[in-house]
Amino acid sequence: MIILALDGALARCSAAVLADGAVLAEAREDAARGQAALLPPMVDAVLARAGVAAPALSAVAVGVGPGGFTGLRAALALAEGIALGAAVPLIGVTTGEALAAAIPAERRLGRALWSVVDNRRGRVVLERFAPGAMVPDGPPEAFEEAALPAPPGPVVIAGDAAAAVAARLAAQERDVLLSDARLPEAAALARVAAARLAGALPPRDAVPLYVEPPAVRASAP
């Protein structure tokens, strides 16, 4: 099973090739914008380093968000084109699922997981995972940071808004653990996709999770 994974949901572009659980090649670049230009050569590079041609792929996986509108669209369009050309399945993975796969199991022991993404408009987008779960309890939800619900018990926090949310919960004397997983990595995303392809996780279509409409500016009269 060979999977190409790519992600541009947040302020990082990444791509990886996973073959039977082993990462053959991966690349990443932190960037708040420019995913449409960064991702294609990055994908070409990891395929070349892995020695894999697109027709040999078993599937293509892509991050579906929550995340930024432009980065999500760039990654999805590229992934769709590669999957169509190789005639292989296209598998969606949420930002929270990719972050969950990057956290060591012992760090999550007995703790729920919150994946929190800064939407850059004064709100955070929350994906909630039960202890040990690799898929979220439901769809992502947007909250004002001050209006976040109280976690039902011990919780580990991931995502690009993790530091601020963990500090707020700690100030409320909640049992909170701040993880190192802040931005999704394609290699972790590929592991989630492999579990989906094997039937160990429920399927997810490669459609973007925007949660809120993208910010737009009115045109000048």
The pair of three-digit structure tokens given for residue 85, joined into one six-digit string: 């050309």
Report the interhelical angle of 35-50 vs 69-86 (nearest 10°).
Answer: 40
- Separation of alpha carbons 197 and 164, rounded Å: 35
Q: Are residue 157 and residue 142 in the same domain, yes or no?
A: yes
Tell me which residue range forms the domain holding 42.
2-95+183-197
Q: What is the pLDDT of residues 208-221, one digit of tens each?
A: 998 866 544 444 44
Report the interhelical angle of 95-102 vs 186-197 (nearest 10°).
Answer: 100
Overall average pLDDT of the 110-115 stretch: 98
Q: Are residue 90 and residue 20 in the same domain, yes or no?
A: yes
- Separation of alpha carbons 152 and 175, rounded Å: 10
Q: Are residue 190 and residue 119 in the same domain, yes or no?
A: no
Q: Is residue 100 part of a domain?
A: no
CATH number at residue 46: 3.30.420.40
* Cβ-contact 155, 177 below 8 angstroms: yes
Q: Are residue 91 and residue 121 in the same domain, yes or no?
A: no
Q: How many domains does the chain fold into?
A: 2
Q: Bigger pLDDT: 119 or 186?
A: 186
pLDDT reported for residue 168: 95
